[in-house]
Chain A
Amino acid sequence: MITRALFTIAAVVALTYATGSFVPRGALVTGSGAALAFGFLLIVAVQAARICDKLKMPRLTGYILIGLAFGPELAGIITAKMLADLALVKGTAVGLIAFLAGCELNLRHLRPRLRAIGTTALLTMLGAVVLLFAIFYALTYLLPVTLTFTTIERIAVALVAANVLAAYSPAVVVGILSETKAQGPLSETSLSIVVLADLVIVITYALSSTFAHGVFPSESGASALSMLVPHIFGSIGAGLVAGGVLALYASRVGSRSGVFTFAVLFISAEAGAALHLNPLLVGLAAGLLLENVTAIGGERLSKAAESVAMPTFAIFFAVVGAEVQFQAFLHTAPYAIGAAALRGLGIWAGARVAARMVGLDAVFARRLTFGLLPQAGVAIALVALLLADFHPWGPVVGTIVLGSIIVNQLIGPVLFRNALAAAGEIRAGEEAGGVADGDHQLA
């Protein structure tokens, strides 16, 4: 199996590389470059998934590594232009991932555990933010660009960086749960926490960056707080509209619901890119509406969307891997690894305290930590804002933050998969999945 997958990767790489030699390096071929990159990444990512299955590793790690290996920074088969053309696929993927997460969150079902989930989310975030704030505050005394900063300026830098790095990854959690078909309390709690926490992170980032803009008034960029209301409420509104359309379609028409769901999310992503809507919030609001308000329920549409979910995940995470700035990471590796370690420590400590407060099992709390380690979509989106909004210190601090995200991106999925396996939830999911002919059921 592994040999065949490697042979296929080699063949597709050779074909794509040969095609790339048609035009000089850097020349643009409109449209076809994106189709070529899409096909290449999808085929190679599926082969990587097969290898990962054999090695008992998460497929997501395989997708990310494939993107990293063939992206612009290393092999260069996928060029920066091709990646830019795939941005729409990425936006759709984020929307789909959030939609699937929303469809799995039945608030009535979760109500008895809402206090535990809320407390754990709050304390793990707090634990991570405190330690990250400390390390980034200390780093301002080491980085040349922040050496002359005043205390309040150092606080602003540390606050923004800690806020970005505190983000979790609903995308990775949904992706891992989807591929392993895991079911159980750990799966459900992890998913609930990452979704809830990322909503909070998006809001707190707007607050902390507004504070930073106040401290560095000469810097460009509008007040993030003034953008907050239209951004968040506009996204939620668009999501509710999309959810309503999907519910109407599912009840009145019903056929090809998966394709229709994908098309609706694609249009939301296209519109969202222009209207500055957050695809995560749009998808989540649509999924939550379907699962908790409509009679249709989220499960029907999330199952229908499964046929398009696998290729979407593969492309999304491969693109995430391809976007990794490997050279920059190498320069900041020690700081980045240190920040990632402290983040993990903060989450673990927060989970321990929360476990004592709400009466969770200590082993469960430890395993839960691993579900909160991965980072991807939201964190990367926030880093992009950090890099763009705060010159000259934004690019320097942002590179360290990005390095830390890379570490969490590569290690997080592996640890979470192992935690699910240790909790016996993967086996439970596989058994249920076998009965349902491969359909995944998260809840």
Chain B
Amino acid sequence: MSLQQIFFLVVSAVIVASAVMVVSARRMMHAALWLITSLFGVAIIFALLQAGFFAVIQVVVYIGAIAILIIFAVMLTRRSLEDPGGQLIRYWWLAALAGLGVFVALVGVLSQWSGFGASLPALSTQAPPGEVSQLGLALVSPDAYVLPFEVASVLLLVALVGAIAIAWDRKPPKG
């Protein structure tokens, strides 16, 4: 086993364990912190795959924006969102079975894929130095992803306008 594989296994174990902690932590704040650990682990996986851009974007978007907004929302609500009740429902084993089934099916499908056993160097030698600019070109070129990109932009714009409309401070009519 190479050093990279060991690193990957350790990071994946951390991701899965902290993802379990997200749903099992009793304090909302702790759940949010475990979520950050999990998301950061995914960023490390991206870095391991030599996708530096995605690693950094993962941190900027998920930790810098989404996780912080979640924590902000938790901070603004009750003092410490704690749930003392039971954490399992009656048919938890059914859900566990379904989850396991999906996992087995995914592994089964993925093991049929040709890239399943490929090692990293085979990918990295082909990667040109200007990977970020290639991504940028792909986002605006008509044969690639310009339509999804524009749709996402419009969606974000609508969300932005909607947020401003909701938060608008309507002054009472004069008189």
A, B bound: no
Interface residues of A (CB under 8 A from B): none
Interface residues of B (CB under 8 A from A): none
